[in-house]
Amino acid sequence: MGEPAVKILVLEDEPDTAGYLRKGLSQAGHVVDLCHDGRDAFHLALEGVYDVLVVDRMAPGMDGLKMVKSLRAAGVLTPVLFLTALGGIGDRVEGLEAGGDDYLVKPFAFTELVARLNALARRPPIAEVQTVLQVGDLQLDMLKRTVARAGRRIDLKPQEFRLLEFLMKHAGQIVTRTMLLENVWSFHFDPKTNIVESHMSRIRAKVDRGFGKELIQTVRGAGYRIDASA
Amino acid sequence: MPLPRITGTAAFRLATLYGLLFALGAVVLVAFFDLTVADYARRSLRDDVTSEIQLLERTAPGGNATGIAALVRERQRVLGSSAFYYLVFGPGGDLLAGDLPVSAGRRGWAEVQVPAPPESREYAEEMAEVRTLGETLPGGGLLVVGRSTYDFHELRETLVEATAAAGGLILLMALCVAFLIGRQVLSRIDRVNAAAARIMEGRLDERLPAMGMGAEFDRLAANLNAMLDRINGLMEGLRQVSSDVAHDLRTPLTRLRGRLEAALGDGAPNPERDALAQAAMAQVDEILATFSSLLRIAQVEGGGREGFRPVNLSEVVERVQQAYEPVAEDEGRAFAGHVAPDLQVDGDENLLAQLVSNLLENAFAHTPPPGAVELSVRAEGTRAVISVADKGPGIPPDERAKVTRRFYRLDRSRTTPGAGLGLAMVQAVAQLHEGELVLSDNRPGLVARVILPRRPRVQPSAPSAPP
């Protein structure tokens, strides 16, 4: 994908899934360390050499949830993505409250996992939060809630603005449909309707049409990406 | 604790009944005493009178009327006026001595009224009853001796009064005891009821407290708890099975999906293979989605309300409405929303969003464009009502209860996409929120209304109100 390798620690006790994760993530160009035990994972993560942690909620030795809580208590801020087979009602909130940054319910599409890991690993540090996002000649001001391309102001509806904001925050990365549903609409379920597609086509009509170069791309079978260099 | 609640308890009624029985027992006992005493009094009076006559006849000097009269006067002086009443006639019928009215001068047993003795008189003209026995004297003349029944009457009266007082007191004490027992039993039963209510709310680990009212009640509580343990065990088993099934089926399906995904990007482009892999992946995704929905419904149905927070329902509905606006526009259908502002409920925001989304998708799926769909949320008293009305074919009344079952589909909807889980999920979420899903006729079409209890507003405490 042309992106620098991400160092990932995976805590997963089930050998099948662990092997599948290692193989898939390595193929995607990442460096993967596998761990079967929560305590081991805790000590490895404590060293702070990883860009992102993938943690199964249920792991022997130390429960995944507890491990992340302990890490946060120890001041380790490495982004954490929880994996779970449960998908219960309160599980997501519980995971986020424990200090997790994202949450993925098994089964998941691999593209989904990779997209989320990229988003987590390349998240800008909190200190340098920008208020204006820029992709090519497209500008989005998060404070004034305005969008302009090539100096021309573009009017977006609130949800369209949020969608474009999320895309631009992850410029150059693939953003999946589920990630958009979760972050733009706070929908943590799977609607059968093509909500994302309908909104996306409107944004495209406003942002890309009549400006020559199309910034928003559809990545088949994966999601969307906004990129000025493509 | 309000009085009617206590007087309505079985314990109170039982104790009151016992009190009444005791009081009745006292009455019966006293009536028996009274009869016995009266009988005894009558006999003792007769014996007294008879022996007085014998005494007089035997000890009188000369044994004749004159002697007896003298003795009578002597005795009256010694004994006082109240012990015996007398009347002595000479052989010629002349009154020799005595204080009884002359009319009492006849043979055999009789009763006469005399003024009551001054010391026991309650009012001036009170009369006392005197039983008399008259006997002809040897050598002529008549002796009449009488004894007042006044004391016996007094005794009987006192006895009846004492009985009434005792009976009343017993009843009063019984009522007091009944009240106390009733209150205690009620407070213990209330604790049990409160625990049961918490269990029904979904706190399945809660158990009934021991009632502390004796072995039989504690055994009842223990048995109910054992029953709950058993039910809990069964449910746990069921959940375990579902989670095992979920795990055991979803994991290989996920791996299958992963292989298909890998095959897609493998080596040289191969349109035919890629199309097949894509189609297979779509199928797998559909199975996985159905599976997830099913598990989710089960989780919602078995879920508790621990994670509930105050939710701005208006904001949720508006968000879902805006999400579906462009969808409706793309389909070319009219889609209107009416959202009353700031309706608050206690709940799970994510589940409520899914509920509204499912209702809309159900309406969209069954109303061919350009059929209008209308979404609204408004307050109705203490409830918030989410309503989705469509112009589709509607649901026949006799099928309305069935469409909330998992996988239930009307015959004509077999061809529309979906697994038939949408309304089941809506129902489960509504019930988790202590609400209900009501389906009715939109003439034409369907109105699906979800009625939820609103979050009670926090009242600012009035300055005059007691703390």
Architecture of domain B3-156: 2-Layer Sandwich (3.30)
Whole-angstrom distance, CA of residue B400 vs CA of residue B446: 10
What percentage of chain B has pLDDT greater than the value 70?
Answer: 90
Residue range(s) defining the domain that contains residue A17: 7-121
**Beta-carbon separation of A201 and B250 below 8 A:** no
Read off the tokens for B168: 């009343």
**Beta-carbon separation of A88 and B303 below 8 A:** yes
Asked whether residue B158 carries a pLDDT value surpassing 50, the answer given is yes
* b/e sequence B7-31, b meaning 16+ C-beta within 10 Å: eebebbeebbeebeebbeebeeebe
Architecture of domain B309-453: 2-Layer Sandwich (3.30)
Residues A14 and A101 in one domain: yes
Averages of pLDDT over runs of 10 residues in chain A (230 residues) are 74 84 86 88 87 84 84 89 73 83 82 88 65 89 90 92 92 90 89 90 90 87 83
Q: How far is B227 from chain A (nearest CA, A)?
A: 26
Domain boundary among A76, A100, A121: A121
Q: How far is A143 from chain B (nearest CA, A)?
A: 21
Contacts with A107 from chain B: Cβ below 8 Å: 250-251, 253-254, 257, 288
ipTM summary value: 0.82
Provide the residue count of chain B. 467
Residues A35 and A112 in one domain: yes
Most confident of A151-165, B10-24, B282-296: A151-165
Contacts with A88 from chain B: Cβ below 8 Å: 299, 303
Looking at residue B462, its pLDDT comes to: 47
Nearest to B299 among A89, A188, A190 (CB): A89
Domain boundary among A121, A150, A168: A121
Asked whether residue B211 carries a pLDDT value surpassing 80, the answer given is no
The three-class DSSP label of residue B447 is strand
Q: Report yes or no: B455 and B386 within 8 Å, Cβ to Cβ.
A: no
Residues A28 and A63 in one domain: yes
Residues A117 and A21 in one domain: yes
CB neighbours (10 Å) of residue A211?
Answer: 16
Q: What CATH number has the domain bearing residue A208?
A: 1.10.10.10
Span(s) in chain B for CATH 3.30.450: 3-156
Measured between CA atoms, the residue of chain B closest to residue A202 is B326
Looking at residue B121, its pLDDT comes to: 66
Residues A109 and A194 in one domain: no
Among B242, B312, B327, B358, pick the best mutation site for testing chain A contact (most A Cβ within 10 A): B327
Measured between CA atoms, the residue of chain A closest to residue B319 is A185
The three-class DSSP label of residue B444 is coil
Looking at residue B466, its pLDDT comes to: 44
pLDDT confidence tier of residue B315, bands split at 50, 70 and 90: very high
Peptide bond into A60 cis (omega under 30): no
The class level of CATH for B215-300 reads: mainly alpha
Domain boundary among A121, A150, A180: A121
Whole-angstrom distance, CA of residue B136 vs CA of residue B143: 6
Looking at residue A146, its pLDDT comes to: 92
Taken in order A62, A65, A68, A69, is the CA torsion positive or negative? negative
Contacts of B443 (CB under 8 A, 6+ apart): none
List the helix and strand counts (H, then E) for chain B. 9, 12
Q: How many domains does chain A have?
A: 2
CB neighbours (10 Å) of residue B456?
Answer: 9
Residues A211 and A134 in one domain: yes
Peptide bond into B444 cis (omega under 30): yes
Whole-angstrom distance, CA of residue A32 vs CA of residue A26: 7
Span(s) in chain B for CATH 1.10.287: 215-300
Looking at residue B87, its pLDDT comes to: 87
Average pLDDT on B305-327 reads 90
- On whether residue A207 sits in a domain, the answer given is yes
Residue in the structure block whose two tokens are 């001001």: A141
Whole-angstrom distance, CA of residue A86 vs CA of residue A84: 5
The string of pLDDT tens digits covering residues B367-397 is: 888 889 999 999 998 899 999 998 888 788 8
Whole-angstrom distance, CA of residue A66 vs CA of residue A64: 5
Report DSSP letters for B359-427, one per residue: HHHHHHHHS-TT--EEEEEEEETTEEEEEEEE-S----GGGTTTTTSTT---GGGTTSSS-S-HHHHHH
Peptide bond into A107 cis (omega under 30): yes
**Beta-carbon separation of B357 and A191 below 8 A:** yes
Looking at residue B312, its pLDDT comes to: 92
Span(s) in chain B for CATH 3.30.565.10: 309-453
